[in-house]
Structures are given as C-alpha cells and as structure tokens.
Amino acid sequence: MATFAVMITFGDAQKRAAVRPAHRDFLREQHEAGRLLESGPYTDESGALMIYQAESDAALRELIAQDPYNRTPGVLAKTEIKEWTIVFPYRKR
C-alpha cells in the first residue's frame, strides 16, 4: 500500500460551498474505510491537503474521481498528487 499527498487548489467558491457537504461525506467514508489518513483545508482557504493510502497512483485517481469536488466542474482549479514516504507517522499526544 502506497501513501499519497493530494493537494488541491480551490476554484469557484459558490460551487464549492454547494457541494461541500457531499465532499465531506465522501471524505468521512474514505476515512472510516482506512483509505484517507488525514485531511483539511489550508488556513488561507486557498485549497486543502489530503493524505490517502492506495494500491497505486491509478487506483487513487479512480477513487478521488468519485469525490464531489472532482465531479463538479469549476470547484477545483488544480489537483496535484505525489507519492509520499512517511518518515515520522502522526501520533496523538
């Protein structure tokens, strides 16, 4: 299983607001299934970072294509995906 950083840049704010509840439901489902490790928007509201685990880049792209943000034209201005090596995993303190 590989780990990927998915970095998105937001586009149209009104379109994004309209589909945000469905997007959050999608993320919740992925998190509960163990595919999404962490996610959240940048503090400047320009975009967000999501950390996923998937079998491959192709499998991840197929999965995130189902995200309402990706299915609604104009919500995202850019999506960047990078395979990521975890050196120090998150741990609760």
Residue 20 lies in a domain: yes
Confidence of residue 12 (pLDDT cuts 50, 70, 90): very high
In the β-sheet with 36-41, what is the strand arrangement from edge to edge?
36-41, 47-54, 2-10, 76-83
Residue 73 lies in a domain: yes
Q: How many structural domains is the chain composed of?
A: 1
pLDDT of 92 reads 76
pTM: 0.92
CB 35 within 8 A of CB 53: yes
pLDDT of 91 reads 78
Beta bridge mates, 4: 52, 83
**53: which DSSP letter?**
E
Here the CATH number for the domain that contains residue 20 is 3.30.70.1060
Q: What is the sign of the dihedral through the CA atoms of 42, 14, 80 and 33?
A: positive
Tens of pLDDT, residues 71-93: 999 999 999 999 999 998 877 77
Helical (H) or strand (E) element with 62 = helix 57-64
